[in-house]
Structure 1
Amino acid sequence: MVRLSGQVNMGYLGYDDGQQSYGNFVDNDNSSTRARIQLFSSPNFDWRFEAIFEVEYQPLASNVVSQLDDRPEWSFDQGDIRKAEAAISNKSYGKLWLGQGSMASDGTAEVDKSGTTVIAYASVSDTAGGYFFRAPGGALSDVTVGDAFNDYDGLSRKFRIRYDTPTFGGFGVQVSYGYDWLVSDPKPMYDVAATYAGTFGDVEVASAVGLSRNDQNESTRFDGSFSALHKPSGISVTVAAGEQDAAGPTGYYGYAKLGYEHAFFDAGSTAFSIDYYLGSDIANASSDSSSIGIAAVQNVDAANLKLWLLWRTYSYDEASLSFDRGQAIFGGALVKF
């Protein structure tokens, strides 16, 4: 069986760095525009084979645009290949992956049942990561939002071999070993992750933890996340945290989110969330970064459409300097096909 699918996710991003305001139509890097082709074997067999090829296309991404560069880049290169992988699985023996795709720890900091992840989750710099903070006096600093905010979510997608155990009572374990095929002298990367998903009465819960080592930049990460949804009320709570030990600063952060989802309209549910991020030593030693975000998502089920809107602040301070606070307003739509 062959399946073609994908999504387009774009909007208008307005950003105020404390001195000047900017605005651009951009691709939403919280969940990028992408297309994929999948090949599946028959589900009637005990062993199942699948292959996936997935690419993204972001001429101007929300985490790249900045005060100094708002020009679209129309070219396509190897870095736009998200997945090129094959896998074989069996319910009793687990799943073995080979190729470019998610390492075992990918997504361990981003478990979230709020219904607003299309625009707001632990990786808060996906919205405006390219913008520079304004230093005292009004000059642009050399620190971007992306430098100061990181959710340390494992090792992302790499060329790897990965094994996922079957789940037992909702628990599962994943391990992988790989490298970054885009660099000229790749070094090993390896990780392990554990996940859990279950239901306790009216409450759905999910969680994940990951431990990863990247020899490319000599860093070690430990991260995790937990999310719970009370189904009758639509109220959810999400928390995440992570730490990176590297040659530079040993950074760490915490993230908390309160969500609410309800079907006000026949077209689909509406989700709201408010979140808070607090990090230390991420961009530089003795630095602090914080963010508050308020998000809304309206689902239009018949059209596979999500309409989303976000307001988010970014604050960054160093030991002897306080930088101007940045504010982002981001609104747009995601449509899946």
Structure 2
Amino acid sequence: MRFFKSMLAAGVVGLTAFPASALEVEVGGQVNRAVMYAKDGYSANNLGVGSDTEFYHVDNRNSPTRFNIGGTQRLFGGWTAGALIEVGVFSNASNDVDPTAKNTDPEVDERITDAFVDTPYGKVTLGLGEGAAYNTGRRDYSGTGVISFRNPNLIGGSLRYKLKSSSFKRTFDGSGNFTGNEPFDLANPAQNESSISGSIRDYNFEGRHNRIRYDSPRIGPATVSASAGHDGDGGASSVLQVGVKSGLRVPGGRMLVGVGYSRATQNNEDPGGSDGEDVNIYGGSVSYFHSSTGLNLSLAAVNRAQKLTEEESTDTFDATNSELGQFRYVKLGYRPNRQHAFDIHYGETRDRNKEDEKGSVIGVGYVWSPTDMFDVYGGAKIHSFERAEWCTTSGRTCYNPKYEDITIVTTGLRVKF
């Protein structure tokens, strides 16, 4: 159970110009475990070999097991300072397991290490945490995020699509004359493998990273945020973000709106940096809740743009030859009260790796929350992947891969404390 601890700083009065005040410390966390069933999801270089169905005991990465401790203290009229540390502690992450790795090593994930000052003029946060645009593409009134989260690859992300036996390649001679069709060598898929993570992603504005962030006071119904920091191996990317979030009353109910933009500039002079081009991510989401019925609708659209290097644009065997990835998502929910929440959702990412490809998911979810501290949930989803014919630079081989769908059913418990 969450608890608060107050400590009176009476002895500090003579050491500071500010009056003493109570320090509130909050300790909490959660455990989130699930059983995941998958059909036609295989491990790397093992497409279609072995059992086509598997069960996994996992930590649900939609909302992973974690521990946090935070504290706040009033400084003086309208000014508050505080800090938050949040650490994920889990094993068998739901986006890591596959048929050859049903048990994965325990993992400690530093999620947030923040210090902040909140004032009448806005809030300044310094440390590891969310950038200004983070989650602006994930606004959601459905109440089913623990099972039907906006980022579909967090459950089953390492599972790979089985190549169908109908996959084939067209071959040509040195003069460009067609010489026939040949079946794939499934043991050597030649850059035609793809995992769920490799096919679909919601592009959440560079994720958590070390930054300084400013959040404005409410300007009408909205809050404006800006941040600057570093991300990637060795801090290889300088990240700038802006975001706007709003919650407002609208006819018949309530609405959440988010819009964000991030730019990651590659520091190529850094030995640990990337030689790639800058990455721009832009988009947002909206969620509407109808008060009298509990029906809700959420929509999201986020794009990721990265100019390709000459090598990437000409090397057809490279995993990436698309400059613009596009994520689109719609969720219809029903939440008649605080105890029950249902949803049906569809999402797709186009051109995640190569041009003219699409990773998609359609799913349903249900969450029962008899108390604020306890959730029981279940859901099912089907992942699909399509890739258009693509040819090698020489033009002598053109691949036409076909993929089996992956079905995943997950049920679990989340207990907060």
Q: Is the 8 A contact 1:197 1:206 kept in 2?
A: yes
- Report the secondary structure of 1:142's partner residue: coil
Cα distance between partner residues in 2 of 1:291 and 1:185: 33
Instruction: Find the partner of 1:272 among 330, 335, 342.
Output: 342
The alpha carbon displacement at 1:284 in A equals 2.1
The aligned residue for residue 299 of structure 1 is: 369
Query: Compared with structure 1, are the counterparts of its residues 276 and 178 closer, same or farther at alpha carbon in structure 2 (3 Å cutoff)?
Result: same
Instruction: Find the partner of 2:331 among 249, 254, 257.
Output: 257
The aligned residue for residue 198 of structure 1 is: 248
The alpha carbon displacement at 1:71 in A equals 2.3
Instruction: Find the partner of 1:11 among 34, 52, 71.
Output: 34
Matched, 1:47 2:79: yes
The alpha carbon displacement at 1:183 in A equals 1.7
- Report the secondary structure of 1:114's partner residue: coil
The aligned residue for residue 282 of structure 2 is: 222
Q: Is the 8 A contact 1:274 1:293 kept in 2?
A: yes
TM-score by length of 2: 0.75
The aligned residue for residue 116 of structure 1 is: 144
Q: Is the 8 A contact 1:154 1:223 kept in 2?
A: no
- Report the secondary structure of 2:335's partner residue: strand
Matched, 1:211 2:261: yes
Matched, 1:134 2:162: yes
The aligned residue for residue 175 of structure 1 is: 226
**Aligned pairs for 1:57-96 within 5 A:** 57-76=89-108, 80-90=109-119, 92-96=120-124
- Report the secondary structure of 1:215's partner residue: strand
Instruction: Find the partner of 2:414 among 330, 334, 337.
Output: 334
Query: Compared with structure 1, are the counterparts of its residues 142 and 43 closer, same or farther at alpha carbon in structure 2 (3 Å cutoff)?
Result: farther
What code does the residue aligned with 2:264 have? N
More displaced 10-residue stretch of structure 1: 201-210 or 8-17: 201-210
Instruction: Find the partner of 1:102 among 119, 130, 133.
Output: 130
- Report the secondary structure of 1:57's partner residue: strand
What code does the residue aligned with 1:269 have? Q
- Report the secondary structure of 1:237's partner residue: strand
Q: Is the 8 A contact 2:90 2:107 kept in 1?
A: no
Cα distance between partner residues in 2 of 1:297 and 1:48: 36
**Aligned pairs for 1:148-163 within 5 A:** 148-163=199-214
Q: Is the 8 A contact 1:152 1:223 kept in 2?
A: no
What code does the residue aligned with 1:313 have? I
- Report the secondary structure of 2:113's partner residue: strand
Larger Rg: 2
The alpha carbon displacement at 1:28 in A equals 0.5
Q: Is the 8 A contact 1:3 1:38 kept in 2?
A: yes
Q: Is the 8 A contact 2:262 2:281 kept in 1?
A: yes
Cα distance between partner residues in 1 of 2:31 and 2:75: 29
Query: Compared with structure 1, are the counterparts of its residues 256 and 245 closer, same or farther at alpha carbon in structure 2 (3 Å cutoff)?
Result: same
The alpha carbon displacement at 1:201 in A equals 4.6
What code does the residue aligned with 1:85 have? D
Matched length: 327
The aligned residue for residue 235 of structure 1 is: 295
The superposition leaves residues 159-195 of structure 1 with CA deviations (integer Å, 9 ceiling, x where unpaired) of 0000011112211111101112x62352311111111
The alpha carbon displacement at 1:75 in A equals 5.0
The superposition leaves residues 191-226 of structure 1 with CA deviations (integer Å, 9 ceiling, x where unpaired) of 111111111254110010111111245211112010
The superposition leaves residues 29-80 of structure 1 with CA deviations (integer Å, 9 ceiling, x where unpaired) of 111110100011038741011100110012111111123322221253xxx1
**Aligned residues with identical type, % of pairs:** 28
TM-score by length of 1: 0.92
Cα distance between partner residues in 1 of 2:81 and 2:164: 57
Cα distance between partner residues in 2 of 1:309 and 1:2: 34
Query: Compared with structure 1, are the counterparts of its residues 75 and 310 closer, same or farther at alpha carbon in structure 2 (3 Å cutoff)?
Result: closer
- Report the secondary structure of 1:274's partner residue: strand
More displaced 10-residue stretch of structure 1: 315-324 or 17-26: 17-26
The aligned residue for residue 184 of structure 1 is: 234
The superposition leaves residues 140-171 of structure 1 with CA deviations (integer Å, 9 ceiling, x where unpaired) of 86311001111111121100000011112211
What code does the residue aligned with 2:97 have? V
Q: Is the 8 A contact 2:75 2:81 kept in 1?
A: no
The superposition leaves residues 245-280 of structure 1 with CA deviations (integer Å, 9 ceiling, x where unpaired) of 1134211021000000124xxxx5111000011221
The aligned residue for residue 286 of structure 1 is: 356
- Report the secondary structure of 2:415's partner residue: strand
Q: Is the 8 A contact 1:291 1:313 kept in 2?
A: yes
Cα distance between partner residues in 2 of 1:38 and 1:202: 37
- Report the secondary structure of 1:146's partner residue: helix
Q: Is the 8 A contact 2:35 2:56 kept in 1?
A: yes
What code does the residue aligned with 2:304 have? Q
What code does the residue aligned with 1:63 have? N
The alpha carbon displacement at 1:322 in A equals 2.0
What code does the residue aligned with 1:49 have? A
